[in-house]
Structure 1
Amino acid sequence: AARAGIGQFVDVGTGIPTEPHPHQIAGRYRDGAVVVGVDNDPVVLAHGRALLEGMPIVRGDVRCPDELIAELDEFIDWDRPVAVLLLAVLHFVTDEQDPAGIVRAFTGRMVPGSVVALSHVCKTGADPVAVAAVEEIYREKATVPGVARTAEQIRGLFGRRLELVEPGVVPVQLWPVPSLRELTAIPVLGGVGRVPDPLAGPSGNALTGNAQSGGAQAGGVRVGVGRG
């Protein structure tokens, strides 16, 4: 996104800082890039503010997107392209909390050229017993439940306004190009959606139609299945 000229980034669910952090990556490609972290964990907020000098981190809950966006107004100019990162976030949002509505709340403020990147645990092609076991662990031991969704449900989170960037919604190990990392027993799918310019016409960024090695198609969405 930074190489494409985007200079603003919102990292939702930023977590304890790791190397490299999104603000470091953005800075490699775009001088003066603004990266804002978002989390609702006081421990994460304290660590992030101590370790990530010059990066604002706001306390916010993605399940309350309108309130969160209002907090971001201090740092983000929504009249310019922005990248919103929802990485490993929406599988902690239940259907009742409307994960697709969260994405719509952001895209409703985003101008053409903006992007949303998201990743999500997928149950399509996974061992149902393993999926159920993981969901039970989150119900019993985590502060929020974990929800695995089908490949088509994950694809649907991008909504109608976002145009998928190739290669579409695929196992994260295959995006943007195949890597050497082995696919996992329970797939994690990822993709990037771009707000198109209505005056520019179709850009051709659509889901790729042929599966790659280690993946199978599910309704136009590639799903990788690990060897377990």
Structure 2
Amino acid sequence: MTDPSPPGSKLDTTVAHPARRYNYWLGGKDNFAADRESGDQVAAAFPTVRIAARANREFLKRTVEFLVAEAGIRQFLDIGTGLPTADNIHEVAQRIDPRSRAVYVDNDPLVMSHARALLTSSPEGRTVYLERDIRDPGSILDAPELRDTLDLGQPVGLTLVAVLHFVRDHENPYGVVRRLVDALPSGSYLVLSHGTYDGLPAGVVERLEQANAASGGLSRTRSRAEVDRFFEGLELVEPGVVPVAEWRPAPGAEIPDPVDICMYGGVARVR
């Protein structure tokens, strides 16, 4: 995510944006030259980045299925939504229970315009879209659209998937997550995935950091211990914090090597 911007901010196509770059890696067409250039720089250093993007997307799908089918969650707050693709959160949830609701949040105007145009809810459920930045959780939680859509007195599935590595240390990532989680009642769940350099050779890390610097220092990867900190005080769901492809994979699914994905994921219940 880029620097915080107010709703209705102007779309800047000259600067790479994580959502559009992610769209490029997934084979989408909703991206610009700056996004493709940045994406290619990362792919040159980390050739399996497209495998990682797909694995992360599948992790999101499995966790939503778990929350609806097993944990009884019927409302979701998704921050760092990204551009619409197959099996968006409300679509996965509403296949199980059409009454499910979702609030999508992103700070890219392109994401929001596409979401409003393409993502339609079932008649029984509801979807709402907010142009906000994760670094300002208060503006998200206080938004009238969120309060009109979600009942914060009932459990919520908070999904922060592949977004926190764009919140750098001086932007208080742990405080942001705590502020969001503290606003949710007992029985809610946090779904989180986060990029890491764990297990990568030093040469690959160096090249990735060069690509990151070239795009303005978009991301800040974190170690397993640092990712674990986001779940402090919560009740982790088995198998805990693991490489995203290893979180409850489908029977018989081919599981990529963790170093080809470099992404941890986990699900935890709010006590």
What TM-score comes out, normalization by structure 1 length?
0.80
AA matched with 1:173: A
Structure 2 unaligned segments of length 5 or more: list them: 1-66, 122-126
Task: Report the structure, 1 or 2, having the larger helix content.
Answer: 2
Equivalent residue in structure 2 for 1:19, among 69, 75, 86: 86
100, 103, 106: which one aligns with 2:174 = 100
Q: Match for 2:151 among 77, 85, 94?
A: 77
Cα deviation 1:177-208 (Å, max 9, x = unaligned): 37313124352100001112xxxxxxxxxxxx
Distance 1:33 1:133, change over 3 A: same
Once the two structures are superposed, what CA deviation does each residue of 1:90-118 show, in whole Å capped at 9, x if it has no partner? Answer: 00010111111111011111111100100
Number of the residue aligned with 1:132: 206
Q: Indicate the residue corresponding to 1:154 in structure 2.
A: 227
In the alignment, the residues of structure 2 paired with residue 84 and residue 42 of structure 1 have an alpha-carbon distance, to the nearest angstrom, of 21
Instruction: Give the SS at the match of 2:179.
Output: helix
Aligned pair 1:2/2:77, yes or no? no
Aligned length: 194
Q: Mapping of 1:43-58 within 5 angstroms?
A: 43-54=110-121, 55-58=127-130
For the residue of structure 1 that corresponds to 2:142, the secondary structure is helix
Report deviation, 1:81: 0.2
How big is the shift at 1:73? 2.5
CA RMSD in angstroms, aligned pairs only: 1.6
1: distance between equivalents of 2:261 and 2:95? 32
Deviations 1:118-162 (A, max 9, x none): 0011122222332232233233225x62111110000111122x1
Find the counterpart in structure 1 of residue 58 from structure 2: none
Equivalent residue number for residue 226 of structure 1:
none
User: What is the CA distance between 1:163 and its match in structure 2?
Assistant: 0.9
Mapping 1:68-217, distance limit 5 Å: 68-71=140-143, 72-141=146-215, 145-160=218-233, 162-177=234-249, 179-183=253-257, 184-185=259-260, 187-196=262-271
Check the 8 A contact 1:123/1:186 in 2, yes or no.
Answer: no
Q: Are 1:155 and 1:169, in contact at CA under 8 Å, matched by a contact in 2? A: yes
Q: Aligned partner of 1:134: which letter?
A: L
Greater strand fraction, Structure 1 or Structure 2: 1
Q: Does the CA-based 8 Å contact 1:135-1:146 persist in structure 2? A: no
Describe the superposition over 1:58-92 as per-residue Cα deviations: whole angstroms up to 9, x where unpaired: 11100111111112333221100000110000000
One-letter identity of the residue aligned with 1:192: V
Q: Does 1:34 align with 2:101?
A: yes
Structure 1 residues not aligned, in runs of 5+: 197-228
Residue 81 to residue 58, structure 1, CA distance change in 2 (3 Å): same
Which structure would you say has the larger RCO, counting Cα contacts within 8 Å and 6 or more residues apart? 2
CA–CA distance in structure 2, aligned partners of residues 29 and 156 of structure 1: 32
Secondary structure (helix, strand or coil) at the match of 2:117 reads helix
The percent of aligned pairs where both chains have the same amino acid is 38
